[in-house]
């Protein structure tokens, strides 16, 4: 169902490169699929579902910029046992974020159940000299992709 709604939205908004005026169909699509929501704002305002918590990612995607990392993340996000951070966090490569600590980092993650894998993607980690050591210090067994 979601696939059909997203397809209809894309068809309506990307026909011949011209966006469609807001109308009842577009508003229905937005509300049912959650389009145009800023996920990171959504996470902070979201009521915590019972049995969930914000967890440090178990997997981090560190591929190069323009190397398909966003596409990979979006494909993984389709799986019900995977939840993904909404934005590139830049925790391990930007000193100003790293000094905020793990609690700040965790607060940017989506709520997840214990059986779900939390994934974060920041291609900047690939070129950062300090990111690998910082990631290892956080979790020496974390999966890097």
Domains of the chain: 1-36 (no CATH), 50-144 (3.40.50.300)
pLDDT in tens, 8-63: 455 444 444 444 445 555 455 445 444 433 344 444 456 889 999 999 999 999 98
Burial of 75 (0-12, 13-18, 19+ CB in 10 A): exposed
pLDDT in tens, 69-95: 999 999 999 999 999 999 999 999 999
The model carries a pTM of 0.67
66 is catalytic: yes
Q: Is residue 121 part of an annotated ligand binding site?
A: no
Q: Could you tell me if 93 and 124 are in contact, meaning their C-beta atoms sit under 8 angstroms apart?
A: yes
Token pair 């990111």 in the structure block, residue: 131
In degrees and rounded to multiples of 5, residue 118 shows phi and psi of -95, 130
Q: Is residue 66 part of an annotated ligand binding site?
A: yes
Q: Is residue 68 part of an annotated ligand binding site?
A: yes
Separation CA 133–CA 92 (nearest Å): 9
The catalytically annotated residue of 66, 100, 121, 143 is 66
């Amino acid at each position: 169902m979601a696939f059909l709604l997203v397809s209809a939205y894309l068809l309506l908004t990307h026909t011949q490169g011209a966006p469609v005026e807001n109308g009842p169909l577009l508003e229905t699509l937005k509300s049912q699929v959650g389009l145009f929501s800023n996920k990171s704002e959504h996470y902070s305002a979201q009521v915590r579902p019972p049995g969930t918590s914000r967890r440090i990612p178990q997997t981090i995607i560190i591929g190069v910029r323009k190397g398909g990392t966003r596409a990979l993340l979006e494909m993984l996000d389709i799986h019900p046992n995977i939840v993904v951070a909404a934005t590139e966090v830049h925790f391990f490569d930007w000193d100003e974020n790293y000094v905020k600590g793990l609690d700040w980092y965790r607060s940017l993650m989506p709520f997840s159940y214990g059986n779900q894998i939390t994934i974060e993607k920041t291609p900047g980690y690939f070129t950062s000299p300090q990111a690998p050591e910082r990631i290892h210090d956080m979790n020496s067994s974390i999966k890097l992709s």
